[in-house]
Structure 1
Amino acid sequence: MQLEKYKVENKVKLAQFETKEVINDAKKSLKKLRKKIAELQDTMYAEGKYGFLICLQGMDTSGKDSLIREVFKDVNARGVEVHSFKVPTELELKHDFLWRHYIVLPEKGKIGVFNRTHYENVLVTRVHPEYIFSENIPTVNSLEDLNDDFYLNRMDRINQFENHLVKNGTKVLKFFLNLSKDEQKNRLLRRLNLPEKNWKFSPSDLKERKLWDEYQTCYEDVLNNTSEENAPWFVIPADDKPTARLIFAEILLKELEKCNFEAPKLSSKLVEKLDDFKTELNKE
């Protein structure tokens, strides 16, 4: 699989990326990959040198939850942590916009998954700039203060934040699940038509859908201003869920393999005593 075509390395237009790609036997292939991911994560945990931060963004119904469930199914529960960021709480609003993300970053040896991320602060708040007023920022007094420069400045601070993480041993990978508007319609209708899926639907889904073009513009801006070599964005075609999961897993596996994890070795003194330990246990 040519994974580089999904990576954002230059200025891009979202329209140049396909929203649908179908790989035969994607489900079967994923089963093999997730076992390899689990094995590498075990060694990564034992080594305790690197952490991985996986950032997932996408329009409503793009498949973030099911991707997390299917790809990390075989990973030891101690080795992966998932955080989903909703509307900021009163406490979170008393801090800077990155604080609530920083305090749940993965420790070394673990994979952290952000389901919706710190990028919501330059996506949702850009489409709905009035939300920024809840942050009570001294320099923001009106909508006129929330111009392009304001959001470009935020994106620059996000780049600095991620660069700091990378320099301290946290690998950062960011994925935009690129869903078509037609497929979102189909998935929303499925939520309405299937009683067991009704709970997933919210009237706000339709309100946000009407702002589709605004969101696409903001996502494009994010991709073009925050895809760095040390913290790249990948645009994944999301109309076919099994294929999207497989592409994601392929990219993650490749990045894990680059780290050449090594489990710590016992000291020579302990190695010499292994037979003694076995004998002691067998005598019980």
Structure 2
Amino acid sequence: MSAKAAPFKLSSIDPSAKPFSSGDKLADKAAVETLATELDQLQDLFYADRRFKMLVVLQGTDTSGKDGTIRGVFGKMSALGVHTVSWKAPSREELAHDYLWRIHQRVPASGDIVIFNRSHYEDVLVPAVNGWIKPEQVRQRYAQINDFERLLSENGTVILKFLLHISKDEQRERLQARIDDPTKHWKFESGDIEVRKQWDAYQKAYAAAVAATGTEWAPWTVVPADSKTHRNLMVATVVKRTFESLKLRYPPGDPALAKLKIE
């Protein structure tokens, strides 16, 4: 969808749906494990091929499972060539530049996979919901993001954007679990409650983001994520299919190696 696409209703997608599920939770969990192993092998080939770069964007409300997706889908990959960037509020230095300045510094190099835990979309979603920028500035930033992502794509970056879509009830249960379990207190911030009060505004903002920036070169995949297992299964399947579509290959070997004997 382009910036001029028809409005997209996030509410039209059931967050409890499981379109990628076999119907058997244990089988789905086993499939995720298998896919994670296959992705590790494909990542080695991706790194050796060096013709591409991959940027994986994970967006979603608090507790939507960004950390869990990274562990479950990408956790078996070698640290060689795989990097995760968790985006927080911009620093004073970052605020002195345009909002994409800090982002461009962390995009992948040739052969690398970079996973954004939150992303440059935060610099539109949060200001838009809080009224810090005007509607015309929101449209301007999404147009700039489209251009930025097209620049990356035209220079060999494969972009996968996942919106992890959970229900308000599921978020309530996950937030409560962080409060009830002392080992999860570190995950809870008082600001989470204030942001939850803006649930409807954020749902509308996410829908607008998907409509404005779901492009041919950087499409969005909305992942029903009330089920953690299904979330990982769907993301891993999409990533694997993307790897396979690239027709990856090992570079030609050095002919001199054919006669080399190690003594």
Shorter-chain TM-score above 0.5: yes
Larger helix proportion of the pair: 1
Match of 1:108, SS?
coil
- Aligned letter for 1:106? P
Matched, 1:196 2:183: yes
Q: Give 1:79 shift.
A: 2.1
Aligned to 1:137: none
Offset at residue 128 of structure 1 (A):
2.0
CA gap 1:272/1:183 in 2 versus in 1, 3 angstroms: closer
- In angstroms, what is the RMSD of aligned CA positions? 1.3
Residue in structure 1 matched with residue 141 of structure 2 by the alignment: 154
Q: Residue 11 of structure 1: CA displacement?
A: 4.6
Task: State the alpha-carbon separation in 2 of the partners of residues 116 and 101 from structure 1.
Answer: 11
Count residues in correspondence.
Answer: 253
Secondary structure of the residue aligned to 1:155 is helix
Give the deviation of 1:119 after TM superposition. Answer: 0.3
Residues 123-171 of structure 1: per-residue CA shift (max 9 Å, x gap): 01111233xxxxxxxxxxxxxxx32111101000000000000000000
Give me the whole-angstrom Cα distance separating, in 2, the residues matched to 1:32 and 1:95. 43
Percent sequence identity over aligned pairs: 39
Alignment pair present for 1:184 and 2:171:
yes
Offset at residue 35 of structure 1 (A): 1.4
Partner of 1:113: 115
Paired position in structure 2 for 1:91: 93
Q: Show the counterpart of 1:102.
A: 104
8 Å Cα contact 2:163/2:223 also seen in 1: yes
Q: Who is 1:262 aligned against?
A: 249
Which one of 227, 244, 248 corresponds to residue 214 of structure 2? 227
How many angstroms apart in 2 are the aligned matches of 1:229 and 1:241? 28
Q: Is the 8 A contact 2:7 2:208 kept in 1?
A: no
User: Distance between the aligned counterparts of 1:219 and 1:17, measured in 2?
Assistant: 13
Looking at structure 1, the residues matched to 123 and 45 of structure 2 have their Cα atoms a distance apart, in angstroms, of 34
Can you give the 5+ residue segments of structure 2 that lack an aligned partner in the other structure? none
For residues 72 and 223 of structure 1, what CA distance do their matches in structure 2 show?
A: 24
What pairs up with 1:1-284 in 2 under 5 angstroms? 11-22=7-18, 23=21, 24=24, 25-130=27-132, 146-268=133-255, 270-273=256-259, 277-278=260-261, 281-282=262-263
Using structure 2 for the length normalisation, give the TM-score: 0.93
C-alpha distance in 1 between matches for 2:154 and 2:10: 30
How many Å separate the matches in 1 of 2:201 and 2:225? 19
Identify if the C-alpha distance between structure 1 residues 11 and 128 changes in structure 2 by more than 3 Å, giving closer, same or farther: closer
Q: TM-score, normalised by structure 1?
A: 0.86
SS in 2 for 1:123: helix
In the alignment, the residues of structure 1 paired with residue 176 and residue 6 of structure 2 have an alpha-carbon distance, to the nearest angstrom, of 36
The aligned counterpart of 1:140 is none
Matches of 2:225 and 2:79, distance apart in 1: 26
Shift of 1:31: 1.0
- Contact 2:128–2:134 (CA<8 Å) still a contact in 1? no
Q: 2-side partners of 1:266 and 1:186: how far apart?
A: 54
Are the counterparts in 1 of residues 58 and 116 from structure 2 also a CA contact under 8 Å? yes
Aligned partner of residue 38 in structure 2, secondary structure: helix
Q: Between Structure 1 and Structure 2, whose CA radius of gyration is higher?
A: 1
Letter in 1 for 2:129: V
